[in-house]
Amino acid sequence: MQYIVFDLEATMSQYIIEIGAAKVSDVEGELKIIDRFQSYVKPPQMDLLDKRTLKFVGLTTDQFIDSPNMVEVMQRFCKWIGEEDYYLCSWSNSDLRLLVNHYAKERYDLSWVKNFNDIQRPICVDVFQENRQISLKEALTMSGIEQDGELHSAGDDAVNTAKLLVKNIKDIVATTSEDPFAQIICALYKNCFICGKTTRHNDLHLNEKGKKTNRCNTCWERINEENLAKELEGKANIKVQ
């Protein structure tokens, strides 16, 4: 089986604006990157391309004016993947979650989402012995791999992730899934770090920076109430003294 390594870039409002991928296959007994895919995606409204996003990815609105929409890009992407069976890989499962969330806004073909494997975890844990999420840039440096192109470019990030896959393939046990739909649904959920309850990803608490935490809103509120109670109790004790 070959490997399809993909990466996405999106706006602050979670609209996908670029998809990149690298195709990895066995060539005379050695895994090699044999092809790559890249396309910008024109959003439904151009004003979705906020300045912060454009600065982050290093692009301008001009690069999206004549770009195909998401449905067209997905059609091209599926054709590029081809008929051969494959493992689908990415650096963490955040892009899979993004893909599914975006699907609710614009319906497109998700039949290619199968045999998904998050290669970030085995590389972080089994290769680097780290119990934390390592960035793609850091992983490349730690692996002694020269970075291809620019960071936050879906096409380049996909190739760089594929390089990590090729170098660390002995520590990555890719798996298949008999139920691709289950993998898609699972991408929408996450376990709360405190109570362990499975929570829809969109319902996780947002911190002061607007980023999702690993705590559900119920636990976050309870912890804040407990901290407030301790603070009030401490102030009361000071007054008594």
Q: Enumerate the domain spans of the chain.
A: 2-179, 198-240
Tell me if the domain spanning 2-179 has CATH number 3.30.420.10: yes
Tens digit of each residue's pLDDT (9 = 90 or more) over 41-58:
999 888 888 888 898 888
Other C-beta atoms lying within 10 Å of the C-beta of residue 166: 18
The end-to-end CA distance of the chain, in Å, is: 73
Please tell me the pTM assigned to this model.
0.76
Q: Could you give the angle at the alpha carbon of 15 between the alpha carbons of 211 and 8, nearest 5°?
A: 85
Can you give the pLDDT at residue 132?
Answer: 81
Beta-bridged to residue 177, according to DSSP, are none
Residue carrying structure tokens 């879906």: 154
pLDDT: which is higher, 236 or 13: 13
Q: How confident is the model at residue 2 (pLDDT cuts 50, 70, 90)?
A: very high
Average pLDDT value for the chain:
84
User: Mean of the pLDDT values across residues 181-205?
Assistant: 62
**Are β-strands 2-10 and 86-90 bridged in parallel, bridged antiparallel, or unpaired?**
parallel
User: Mean of the pLDDT values across residues 89-101?
Assistant: 88
**Torsion angle, CA of 98/102/56/190, rounded to 10 degrees?**
-30
- Is pLDDT above 90 for 235? no
- Is pLDDT above 60 for 144? yes
**Joined tokens for residue 10:** 């999106």
Can you give the pLDDT at residue 233?
Answer: 67
- Is pLDDT above 60 for 85? yes
- Is pLDDT above 80 for 228? no
Lowest-pLDDT range of 43-57, 156-170, 218-232: 218-232
Q: Are 170 and 194 in contact (CB under 8 A)?
A: no
Q: Is 235 helix (H, G, I), strand (E, B) or coil?
A: helix
Can you give the pLDDT at residue 99?
Answer: 87
Can you give the pLDDT at residue 232?
Answer: 58
**What is the DSSP-derived secondary structure letter of residue 120?**
H
Can you give the pLDDT at residue 186?
Answer: 60
